[in-house]
Structure 1
Amino acid sequence: MKPQVSIIMATYNRAHFIAETLAAIRNQTFTNWECIIVDDGGTDTTSEVIAPILEQDSRFQYHIRPNQYLKGLPGCRNYGLDLAKGEYIIFFDDDDIAHPQNLELCVLELNDPNIFFCRYIREVFVNDFHYNFDYSKVYSSFYIDKKELLQMLNHSLQFNSCAVMWRAVCFEKNRFVATLLFAEEWELYSRIVSCGFSGISINKTLFYGRKHPESNTGEYDRKNPIRRASYADAIELVAKNLKEKQLLTYALKRYLIAFSIDFEEYNLFERILNTLDLPTFEKIKWQLFYAVLPLRLIIHRKKKALIKSLAH
């Protein structure tokens, strides 16, 4: 039987976590799925750890990333997309825990032909996971389309890589940029929504991300230059995409330009200005905005600290 859902999981040296992650997938209340595990060339015992699981459950597949796909998470996921047979696509990491109703509730929402993706809440945990799930099927929801691009990009409406199920059609012309080693899903997901695909967000936690220092986010938080350079590249790509689709509002320009101040070592502000190709007067206006922004940020922080001290 053709699987309705394709779960794509890139893995790299996660032998100590992956069995628990795969057990959570086997415990899904929705059963018509395939799980495509793509090993990025790890050197630990992952293949030995998952061998009994592969033998017991044919819904799991294990592949080594071929050399024609670039090393890294985006390359592994793109390979998984090329292998996927499901009507729906979801990406799981190799060290996290999915709620048992994850697939069931997302598929239920995607039964509406006007819905192309289902976003849900993702929580984080440290150390051991406590299996105390809420099985309620009562939750609030709201719709998402191009109007929410600013909230997607500034993370007030977070689109975590493992917190969305997509229709496979969303990836027919959209793939991960294989050279990005951070913020690759942020760039891709905003690009998909900018293409006109609309979806729904449900207010229920369906995924639990394991927080540990070996993760890509942990490396970024420690100022890893490879992750930071990738984020800067992703921001430039987002600006280029929005420019091409004529979706650049004043608010989006302001956000991207203000955000670039944190990436001065990568000359990101000038790169964004070149990408936007603005009229001379507007370009000068944004150059002035950028020049005074550090002072405005200092004043804002001091004002915030003063208000906080007066409140106490």
Structure 2
Amino acid sequence: MSKPQVTIIMATFNRGKFILETLLSVQKQTFLNWECLIIDDGGTDNTRAIIAPILEQDNRFQYLQRPNKYLKGLPGCRNYGLDLAKGDYIVFFDDDDIAHPQNLELCVLELMATDISFCRYIRNVFFEEFDYAFNYSKVYTSFYIDKKDVEKMLKNELPFNSCAVMWKVACFEKNRFVERLMYAEEWELYSRIVSSGHSGISIEKCLFYGRKHLNSNTGEFYSHNPVRRESYTEAILLVVQNLKEKQLLSHGIIRYFVATAIDFKEYNLFENILDLLELSTFEKLKWQIFYTILPFRLRLYRIKKGLK
């Protein structure tokens, strides 16, 4: 195979039930010049046996075990994939989702046509069986994204799902996943990349479909898994530190994270944010008052909304 233009990095762990359907959606891409690095995180099910036929049939797929020098988990697997990648463009796919057949084609066209570093697209979700009635239209709207949009990214007003962005490989020359994070690792990394000055385009077309189930990292987070919750608080602190160093830490971002900290009191998130900010005594007092009063304001708001 000639040098691949796109590298797909797919971490996997005990996804024998779903991964073959995911790989078939990769194989059906309208863009052909890609490699797919399947990084096994030490799974114990029959994933290897299930995907053996497709590995033998199509040498664009590679199945690899995560070496011990990379920490166990999604970030370590993805960093390993980044170190092996041969493509000019990088995209991360999960091992239980479905890629639109035009995913690679449309993103590559956008990245080749303009001087941008990434192409974001829409990701929808599905439950149980997937409907393969794809929309193949190449007509869509788009808009540009740069570091002024970081606040929207962090507030999920402009979601950057881990599998809904194709990146130029240059974005990862100085940026890698923080391997100890077990949740929000892509949220932290992607905001770091964009805040570093990499700009991109967002196309208003769904090119990826995420399977929703309770065993996903997101499902575990919303089920109050302590590992995922603690990881999220650490990711927040890393984001605050990064934006502070780049002088991009706005009042709106601080307010958002202080409000978030109310739900993470067991990790002392609010106190740790204040320590990072190194505020004057007066500024610190203002945020302490805001933090104390906010739960009562929110409760009053919900009561008024209920009465209406």
TM-score computed with the length of structure 2 as normaliser:
0.98
Question: What's the CA shift string for 1:84-113, capped at 9, x where partnerless?
Answer: 010000000000000000000000110134
Q: Which amino acid in the other structure matches residue 54 of structure 1?
A: L
- How far apart, in 2, do the equivalents of 1:252 and 1:86 lie? 35
Matches within 5 A, 1:1-312: 1-307=2-308
Q: Quick one: which amino acid aligns to residue 77 of structure 1?
A: R
What amino acid does structure 1 have at the position aligned with 2:261? S
TM-align CA RMSD: 0.8
Consecutive unaligned residues of structure 2, counting only runs of 5 or more, are: none
Q: Distance in 2 between matches of 1:249 and 1:161?
A: 24
Judge which range, 99-108 or 291-300, deviates more: 291-300
Matches of 1:210 and 1:24 in 2, distance apart? Answer: 13
- The superposition leaves residues 205-247 of structure 1 with CA deviations (integer Å, 9 ceiling, x where unpaired) of 0000001111111111111111000001111111011001110
Amino acid at match of 2:274: L
2:113 and 2:202 map into 1 onto residues whose CA distance is 13
Take 1:235 and 1:243, find their aligned partners in 2: how far apart are those partners? 12
**1:59 Cα deviation from its structure 2 partner:** 0.4
Unmatched 5+ stretches in structure 1: 308-312
SS in 1 for 2:160: coil
- SS of equivalent to 2:113: coil
* Matches of 1:304 and 1:203, distance apart in 2: 33
Any idea what the Cα deviations from partners look like across 1:92-144, whole Å, max 9, x if unmatched? 00000000000000001101342111110000000111100000000011111
What is the rounded CA distance, in whole Å, between the counterparts of 1:271 and 1:146 in structure 2?
Answer: 25
Counterpart amino acid of residue 231 in structure 1: Y
Q: Which runs of 4+ in 1 moved over 4 A?
A: none
* Cα distance in 1 between the residues matched to 2:287 and 2:115: 39
Q: Secondary structure at the match of 2:304?
A: helix
Distance 1:306 1:119 in 2: 40
| Alignment partners' CA distance in 2, 1:217 and 1:92 | 15
Tell me by how many angstroms 1:306 deviates.
2.1
Say which SS state the counterpart of residue 129 (structure 1) adopts: coil
* SS in structure 2 of the partner of residue 122 of structure 1: strand
TM-score normalised by the chain length of structure 1: 0.97
AA matched with 1:246: Q
Distance 1:162 1:97 in 2: 10
Which residue of structure 2 aligns with residue 310 of structure 1?
none
Q: Distance in 2 between matches of 1:115 and 1:306?
A: 49
Comparing 279-288 and 207-216, the one that deviates more: 279-288
Q: Deviations over 1:262-290 (max 9, x none)?
A: 11110000000111111221111111111
- Distance, in Å, in 1 between the alignment partners of 2:242 and 2:102 is 35
User: 128-137 or 255-264: which moved more?
Assistant: 255-264
